[in-house]
Amino acid sequence: MKIDRSNIEKLISIQLEIISASKKLKYHFKYQLIELNIPVEVIDSLLKNEEYVAQYIPQIDTSILYGVCQALFTVTGNEQLEPNQLFGKREIRDAQDNLRSIVQKRMELPISFSDTTKLKYDSYITKIAITDLVKMSESQLIVYDYETQRGAKYELNQSGGVVKTPIVNKASVKRIASKMADNQYFEDMITLNVCSTEVDPLTYYEDFRTLIINDGAVISILDGFHRLQGAIAALQSNPNLDLDMILSIRSYDHETAQKYFGQINTINVLKKERRDELSQERMSDKVVANLQRKSEIGKQIASSTTVNELAGELTTFDIMSYSIDRMYHFERQLDVIKTSNYLNDFFTYLVGSYPDEFSINANKRKNLIMSHPLMFIGYIVLSKFMKDHDIGLDQIEKYVNSIIFDVDKLEPLLNAKKSLTGNKRLRNQLIDYFESKLEGNNSE
C-alpha cells in the first residue's frame, strides 16, 4: 500500500459517515459493491452504524478494502479514495483477481447431496461441510423466513426508516464461532426447508441415495440460524476449518414449517408465547394466525410478549388467542373458519371507524386507551357480544364508546404491573369488566 492501512481505514470511515445521510448515495454505493462482487455480509456490515463500522473495517482483507475504496471513489468522486493513490499496481491486480474469483465460488441451484437417507416423502438426512453451508449462505441461496422463525426486531436506521432484522443472540453466535474456529465444536444438525409453488422443490433418486434441490426452489433455514452465523464468523478467522454438519432437509409448506419450529427445543429457547404461536395447538391460535394473514391489523399483531411501536404493533398473538379462546366456542375446523371470517369483518369496521387510533404510525394515536394492547381483550369481548345479539357491525362506534367510557376504572386494569406477561387473573378481570359494561348498556 502506498500509505498506511490505518489511514485508508480512516478515509473510508469518514466517507461512509458522509454518505449515510443520503439514501441515493447509499443505494449507488451498495450497487457498486455488488458489481465488484463484494460478499453480501460485508455490504450489510458496511451499512451499519458508525461505531460498528469502525470496528469492522480493520477486519476485512486487502481485496475487499480495495473494492470498498473503488466503490466509494466511483460514487463520490473523492480523489483521496482513488485506488491508484492508495494501492500499488500489483495489489490492485491481485485484488481484482480475488474479487473476480468470488463469482466462481458462488453456488447455484440445482445442488446435489449424496449419501442421503429418505425418512419420509418430505424429510431427508445427509451431511454438509461447513464451508459448503457458508458458501450457500454467501451465495444468497438461504433465506431467513421471519414467519417460521423467532420473529423480528425493529430498529431505526440512520435515515429514520424502520429496519426489520432477525432476533439473534450475539453472545451465543460468538461462543459457537469461537469453538468452531478452535476445532472444539461437535458436529450438530442444521435444518433447511425447501419449498416452491412453481416447481418440484426436491428430486430424490432412491437407487443412488441422491437428493437434488431443484432450480426455482426457495431454501430457508428452519433450525440452526445461530450455528450458521457462528460458522460464517468462524471461517473468517480460520479459513481452513474442517467440520461436517448433520443436514436435515425438509419440504414443508408454510404452516407445517411453523409447527415444526414451534416443536423444537434449542439452546436459545423460544419464549413460550412465540412457541405457542408457532405450534398452534389451540383452535384460537389458528384464528389469530388467519387474522395475521388477512385482517386489517394482521401485521400489527406482535409475536413477542410486548409490542414494538416502531413497527406499528398494537397487541400480541398471546393476548388475542387467550381472549378468543375464552369468548368463542370451537369444536371443528369449520368453527375456526367462521370465527376468523367474522373477526376479519369486525376489525375492518373497527379500524375503519378509528383509522388514527389504529394507525401503523404510533404518533397519530391520540387515545392511548384505545390502542393499548390489552384493549384488544375488550374488542374480542365486544365482537362476541355483537355477534350473539345480532348487532350490525356498522354500530360498532356506539359500543366501543360504551366500554372505554369509564377511564378511571379501566386505566388501572390496563396498566397493572406485568399486565402483558400472561397474567391470567388480570385478563379474566378485564373480560369480566368488559362483559359487565356491555350487558349493563344492553339492559338500559
**pLDDT tens, 113-171?**
999 999 988 999 999 999 999 989 888 898 887 655 555 565 555 445 555 566 678 88
Question: Per-residue confidence at 269, pLDDT binned at 50, 70, 90?
Answer: low
Q: What is the pLDDT of residue 276?
A: 56
Closest CA to 302 of 146, 179, 410: 146
43/192: higher pLDDT: 192
Most distant pair of Cα atoms in the chain: their distance: 90
Q: What is the pLDDT of the chain when averaged over all its residues?
A: 85
308 vs 54: CA distance, rounded Å: 29
pLDDT exceeds cutoff 90 at 386: yes
pLDDT exceeds cutoff 80 at 299: yes
pTM of this prediction? 0.47
Question: Per-residue confidence at 98, pLDDT binned at 50, 70, 90?
Answer: confident
Contacts of 212 (CB under 8 A, 6+ apart): 110, 111, 112, 113, 202, 203, 204, 205
Question: Per-residue confidence at 388, pLDDT binned at 50, 70, 90?
Answer: very high
Contacts of 33 (CB under 8 A, 6+ apart): 42, 43, 46, 67, 68, 71
What is the helix (H) or strand (E) element at residue 358, kind and residue range? none
Question: Per-residue confidence at 255, pLDDT binned at 50, 70, 90?
Answer: confident
Question: Per-residue confidence at 43, pLDDT binned at 50, 70, 90?
Answer: confident
Q: How many CB atoms lie within 10 A of CB 141?
A: 18
The x, y and z cell numbers of residue 139, run together, are 451465495
Contact 270, 226 (CB under 8 A): no
pLDDT exceeds cutoff 50 at 338: yes
Contact 120, 152 (CB under 8 A): no
Question: Per-residue confidence at 263, pLDDT binned at 50, 70, 90?
Answer: confident
What percentage of the chain exceeds 70 in pLDDT? Answer: 87
pLDDT exceeds cutoff 60 at 374: yes
Distance of CA 354 to the CA centre of its chain: 29
The x, y and z cell numbers of residue 95, run together, are 485484488
Quote the DSSP letter at residue 246: E
Contact 170, 226 (CB under 8 A): no
Q: What is the pLDDT of residue 105?
A: 59
Looking up cell 394482521, which residue turns up?
A: 298
116 vs 325: CA distance, rounded Å: 43
Q: What is the pLDDT of residue 20?
A: 85
240 vs 120: CA distance, rounded Å: 35
Looking up cell 454438519, which residue turns up?
A: 245
Long-range contacts of 403-412, Cβ-Cβ distance < 8 Å, separation of 24 or more? 403/378, 403/434, 403/437, 403/438, 404/367, 404/369, 404/370, 404/375, 404/378, 405/437, 406/437, 407/369, 409/433, 410/369, 411/369
Torsion angle of the four alpha carbons 222, 227, 231, 237, in this order, in degrees rounded to the nearest 10: 150
205 vs 126: CA distance, rounded Å: 14
Contact 85, 34 (CB under 8 A): no
81 vs 65: CA distance, rounded Å: 11
